Each structure stands twice: as C-alpha cells, then as structure tokens.
Amino acid sequence: MTVDELRAIDLHGDALGQYLYERARDLLQGGIPRDDLQTVLTSFYVWLGEQDRDEDQDAVADVLDSLVGFCSPSARL
C-alpha cells in the first residue's frame, strides 16, 4: 500500500476507515512490517489534512490508533 494508492480511493468517512482497517489487518497478516504501515498511514493522514478532509482524517486516525494499540483490546490490529 502506498500513499498514491490511498489518494486514489473514492471512499470517505466510516467507509474509508473500515476499508483501511481491513486492508491493514490483511497486510499485517501477510507480513508487512507494522512500522512501514504506520508510515504510509501517517503520510496519508497528513495529506488528508492538507486537503481539508477532516472526516477522512479522523477515520485514518482511528486506524492508526488500532495499529499502535491506543484502543480497546478487541480493536487492536
């Protein structure tokens, strides 16, 4: 997953968050390093902020929280 790929996704808000959560889970299970995934999602988060896409930025923040463990145990990636 790259930032360019994420920019091309035509999903917003909760749908974007659900897609990213499932994609992140699949990538982690496939062996992608957690730090690499966090780097891509953080870059995407920053880009969304530059585009004034606050709702989408919130969705990415939720996935990042799940990735780093800043969430309930059942939501951790």
The tens digit of pLDDT for each residue in 60-74 reads 999 999 998 877 677
Are the CB atoms for 60 and 19 separated by under 8 Å? no
Provide the domain count of the chain: 1
Are the CB atoms for 44 and 35 separated by under 8 Å? no
Are the CB atoms for 69 and 76 separated by under 8 Å? yes
Q: What is the pLDDT of residue 48?
A: 97
d(CA 43, CA 45): 5
Domain with 18 in it: 3-75
d(CA 60, CA 13): 9
The share of the chain scoring above pLDDT 90, in percent, equals: 84
Q: What is the average pLDDT across 20-39?
A: 96
